[in-house]
Amino acid sequence: MISQYGFPGARTYEDKFFRADEMRPNVFKISQPWFKEGELLVYCFLIIGEKAALVYDSMFGYGNLRKFCESITDLPLILVDSHFHGDHAAGNFDFDSCYIHPYDMPGIYRSFANSREDLLARAKATAVPEFADEITIDDICFPKPMKTYPIYDGDVFDLGGRCLEVIHVGGHSPGSIMLLDHENHLGFSGDTCNNDTIVRGLPGDPIEVYLEGMRHLAEHTGDIETLFGGHEDFPATIIGEMIELLEKVVAGTDDRAEYTVPFPPGSQSTVTFGAAMKSFYRRVDGKDANVQYSPDYIKKEARGPRILDGSEPGAYRP
Ligand SMILES: [Fe+2]
Ligand SMILES: [Fe+2]
């Protein structure tokens, strides 16, 4: 776990909906400080080069993230989604275009809510009381057709003076991707590898597929020191810990500890974790990596085909 940190002279920007803290030179972590305590916090990142700036994830769609980023930099913005989930990609539709792995492409059109009004109600329920009345329907970003470009493992975004390599790690979602900044020893990880990595349904991939992805990632992260995550940041040692844990899950020798968690939002479910915890989400042995999984969704063969039946914009796996 890494606590909030910056460096001497680090800049901070704020508007009504967003706050950007400069974690490293020209790397801003964007948050929404008006959330009530206990709500799921999500972070996105603005990474500024010499000729373009990259926005990694677009959050819940509460407020206009594009306008906020444009208040920080005049450079062209490249929006890249870590994956399709509604806490990371719902703000896409205020941008002109986005880059996302093809497996996750249909999912961006599936919001966390059924209508813009429902998403507004959700934003208000998330906010501290004094801020709830400030949010109006015009502040809510909702799906509409947008230019969506595929990205693949090994692609490189060249921002001018800073390059970011795309690494595909299916698991949490089939099209989850990390971005690696080798020169500055940084990774941007979304929900791909953390202390509560959800790899069950949603739809995601079986543990064996996730393990393959993490082994592939580890081949590229020898020079990476820090992972800036979508919900929390970690030292890159979490990658090796996750591989070790997933190998135990596949072998059936992990802790297989059951906990009741407040997920999906607004409800509770009892789920299996690979490593036993002393408190949410802190492992008994002090390591960072942990995974939520379904014991019947470990083997590669458990993954069915993607089904596209035209009934909704999202392809899904049963
Ligand atoms: Fe996610
Ligand atoms: Fe998330």
Distance 12 CA to ligand 1 centre (A): 26
Distance 85 CA to ligand 2 centre (A): 7
Distance 192 CA to ligand 2 centre (A): 9
Q: Confidence band (pLDDT; 50, 70, 90) for 312? A: low
Q: Confidence band (pLDDT; 50, 70, 90) for 313? A: low
pLDDT of amino acid 80: 98
Q: How much is the mean pLDDT over the chain? A: 93
> Given the DSSP bridges, would you call strands 277-279 and 257-261 parallel, antiparallel or unpaired?
unpaired
Contact 239, 218 (CB under 8 A): yes
pLDDT of amino acid 1: 43
Q: How far apart, in whole angstroms, are the C-alpha atoms of residue 79 and residue 94?
A: 10
pLDDT of amino acid 263: 76
Q: How far apart, in whole angstroms, are the C-alpha atoms of residue 193 and residue 39?
A: 20
Cα separations (Å) of 221 from 144, 172, 296, 306? 36, 19, 30, 30
pLDDT of amino acid 112: 77
pLDDT digits (tens, 9 = 90+) for 251-302: 999 999 999 988 776 788 999 999 999 998 999 999 999 999 999 999 999 8
Distance 185 CA to ligand 2 centre (A): 23
Residues near ligand 1 ion, CB 5 Å cutoff: 85, 191
Average pLDDT over residues 235-258: 98
pLDDT of amino acid 203: 72
Contact 110, 84 (CB under 8 A): yes
Q: Which domains, from first to last, does the chain contain?
A: 12-252 (3.60.15.10)
Distance 154 CA to ligand 2 centre (A): 23
* CA Rg value for the chain: 19
Q: Confidence band (pLDDT; 50, 70, 90) for 234? A: very high
pLDDT of amino acid 280: 87
pLDDT digits (tens, 9 = 90+) for 163-204: 999 999 999 999 999 999 999 999 999 999 999 999 986 578
Model-level pTM?
A: 0.95
Distance 83 CA to ligand 1 centre (A): 7
pLDDT of amino acid 318: 44
Distance 171 CA to ligand 1 centre (A): 10
